[in-house]
Amino acid sequence: MKFPKATVILVSAALIFIAWDLTRDKREPGDTSRFTNLASHPAARSEVVDWVISRIPELCVEIAGQPAGSPAHAECVDRSESRHSLCRRAIYGSFPEVIRSEAAFRDVTLTMMDCLVQ
């Protein structure tokens, strides 16, 4: 039986990429400074969506008009967290993968917020 050189090379390359990706510095989704200059530093659509999802508790305080920990706030957070995968799919189907302008950023965030906390 012949030794599968190509398979070994491809698997090794994939493992090296995974190791490299794990060592990269990743920004926290709550870092709003990341989205200040989208023209020169575009953001990935997934970064914007993750940032909106990280703001669910704050959005529910605004929507429910109740402080964090209240029953209305907890219900809002639970509903929003159960919808975020559905909303993510809707955003991914409707917006470009790279967000390069403030208008696109605004559209993505408002659409995602509207989907999460109705």
pTM for the complete prediction?
0.67
Per-residue HEC secondary structure of the chain comes to CCCCHHHHHHHHHHHHHHHHHHHCCCCCCCCHHHHCCCCCCCEEHHHHHHHHHHCHHHHHHHHHCCCCCCHHHHHHHHHHHHHHHHHHHHHHHHCCCEECCHHHHHHHHHHHHHHHCC
pLDDT digit string (tens) for the chain, length 118 residues: 788 888 989 999 999 988 887 887 655 555 666 778 888 888 889 989 999 888 888 888 888 787 888 888 888 888 888 888 899 899 998 999 999 999 999 999 999 999 988 7
